[in-house]
Chain A
Amino acid sequence: MAFFNLSAIPNARRSMVSEAAINLSPVITMGDISVSARVGFRGKGALNFLKENGFSAPDKPNQAKMTELGICILRLSNTEFWLIDSSNTNQSVIESLELASNGQDAVYRLYCQHSHGAFIVSGAPIADMFAKICAVDLNIDSFSEGAIAQTSVARVNAIIVRMEGDKSSTFLVLSDSATADYLWHSLADAASEFV
Chain B
Amino acid sequence: MKIMNCPLNGPRNISEFVYGGEVKTMPNSLTCSDKEWADYVFYSDNTIRVITEWWYHSASGYWFIAERHTASDEIFKTYDPSELFNERIEFESKPEPVEEKSA
Contacts and interface: CB of A to CB of B under 8 A. Distances in A.
B60 interface: yes
Contacts of B62: 77
Contacts of B49: none
Question: Main SS of chain A's interface residues?
Answer: strand
Chain B interface bracket (under 10, 10 to 19, 20 to 34, 35 or more): 10 to 19
Interface residues of A, number: 13
A152 B59 contact: yes
A150 B13 contact: no
B40 to A, nearest CB: 28
A154 interface: no
Given A151-B16, A152-B13, A152-B16, A157 B58 contact: yes
A130 to B, nearest CB: 14
B3 to A, nearest CB: 9
Given A77-B60, A150-B60, A135 B8 contact: no
A148 B57 CA distance: 15
B9 A151 contact: yes
Given A150-B60, A157-B59, A136 B12 contact: yes
The 7 closest A-B pairs by CB, nearest first: A150-B60, A157-B59, A150-B59, A151-B59, A135-B13, A152-B16, A150-B9
